[in-house]
Amino acid sequence: MLSEDQAFALLKRRLFIDRGLDCEQYKENYLKRRIAVRLRARNCRNYLEYLRVLRVDPEEYTQLLNQLTINVTQFFRDKDVYDKIRDEVIPGMLKSKGSVGSRSLRVWCAGCASGEEPYSMAMLLDHVLGNELDNWNVRVLGSDIDDRSLAVAREGVYQDSDLLEGMDQDRYFKKLETGNGIAYQVREHVRRRVKFEKLNLFELEGRRHYDMVMCRNVLIYFSRNVQARIVEIIASSIMRDGYVVLGKSETLSHASSALFQAAFPRERIYQRVPGTVRPGVAKGAISG
Ligand SMILES: C[S@@+](CC[C@H](N)C(=O)[O-])C[C@H]1O[C@@H](n2cnc3c(N)ncnc32)[C@H](O)[C@@H]1O
């Protein structure tokens, strides 16, 4: 008979083998809290009983993964951050691009949940560039590990309550009549600049040349050394003077702080310090 600790270790192993989720990367307390929700939902008294449920009902894996990768988000989450990006960061980026004759802007939202964050960035760039937009090659990538969230993101349809007051709704959303009432779809001129991809942050490889990477409210789920490793990989994806934006409750670990300087610390906006990433770090998955 397995002890609770052994059953917990086995559960983590099953999640890795069956679903590719490396639980060792998450903080243990976080994992236990989230798994406990599913134990209660399936009336299991311990991890062993829950392992039996997973064996006879593999659909439960999906519920468990959804529970582990909570995907709460909203348009223009933390308005002050987007204000700073609009007023300081984007003008700085445009100037830097102008000095090297580039007309390309690439933003990556890693851990984008149902897409509100990448769409917000595409709307913001549309707003700032205005009539100049067509002279620029603007691309926004949204990535996440969660299929359900990505399906919502690709459709780009949201309920009224999801939209932020004061946004130029008519410019960015088309009203739809659905069976369940009114919904709003992000307009085509924004959607065509945003692509979505399924990407596990533990298996990032060789992505390059982003001007800004937003990785907000994602790192908090991971242990400190994994955070540092992810930040190092993200740093290697960013142009030499590009930016990374974290969530308001997140900070760069001491290990990562040499890679970036705090451009706007209150808003958790950091700028890459050129030449500080080990060559080849973008290749290969994270291992502990
Ligand atoms: C709280 S949401 C953050 C959404 C958005 N960045 C924001 O700040 O509003 C966290 C997202 O991280 C994703 N996530 C968790 N673990 C991940 C992993 N290993 N790889 C990629 N995405 C992951 C979850 O699926 C979830 O959608």
Q: What is the per-residue pLDDT across 31-80, written as a single tens digit (0 to 9) for each?
A: 999 999 999 999 999 999 999 999 999 889 888 888 887 888 999 999 99
pLDDT reading at 284 higher than 50: no
Q: Is the Cβ–Cβ distance between 27 and 74 less than 8 Å?
A: no
Class of domain 79-272: alpha beta
- Name which residue sits closest to atom 26 of ligand 1, judged by CA: 71
pLDDT of the residue at 181:
85
Predicted TM-score (pTM) of this structure = 0.85
Give the range among 4-8, 18-22, 192-196 with minimum mean pLDDT: 18-22
pLDDT band at 222 (very low <50, low <70, confident <90, very high): confident
Q: What is the per-residue pLDDT across 117-129, written as a single tens digit (0 to 9) for each?
A: 999 999 999 999 9
Instruction: List the structure tokens of 2.
Output: 């397995």
Q: Pocket around ligand 1: residues whose beta carbon is below 6 Å from it? A: 69-73, 77, 111-113, 117, 144-146, 149, 200-202, 216-218, 221, 247
Q: What is the per-residue pLDDT across 12-40, written as a single tens digit (0 to 9) for each?
A: 998 888 776 778 878 899 999 999 999 99
pLDDT band at 193 (very low <50, low <70, confident <90, very high): very high
How many angstroms does the Cα of residue 157 sit away from the middle of ligand 1?
19
First to last CA, the chain: 29
- Which of residues 144 and 166 earns the better pLDDT score? 144
Give the range among 61-70, 139-148, 179-188 with minimum mean pLDDT: 61-70
How many angstroms does the Cα of residue 101 sit away from the middle of ligand 1?
34
Task: List Cβ neighbours of 227 (8 Å cut-off, separation of 6 or more).
Answer: 219, 253, 256
pLDDT of the residue at 266:
92
Average pLDDT over residues 198-220: 87
- Name which residue sits closest to atom 25 of ligand 1, judged by CA: 69
Mean pLDDT of the chain: 88
pLDDT of the residue at 244:
95
Please compute, for residue 107, the number of CA atoms within 13 A of its CA located in the half-sphere on the CB side. 23
How many angstroms does the Cα of residue 245 sit away from the middle of ligand 1?
14
Handedness of CA 119, 95, 136, 100 (dihedral sign): negative
How many angstroms does the Cα of residue 112 sit away from the middle of ligand 1?
6
- Name which residue sits closest to atom 12 of ligand 1, judged by CA: 111
Using CA atoms, how far residue 52 sits from 4, 45, 48, 276, 278, in Å, is 14, 12, 7, 48, 44
Tell me the domain boundaries of the chain: 4-68, 79-272
Q: What is the per-residue pLDDT across 98-143, written as a single tens digit (0 to 9) for each?
A: 999 999 999 999 999 999 999 999 999 999 999 999 999 999 999 9
Average pLDDT over residues 192-209: 86
pLDDT of the residue at 197:
96
How many angstroms does the Cα of residue 168 sit away from the middle of ligand 1?
27
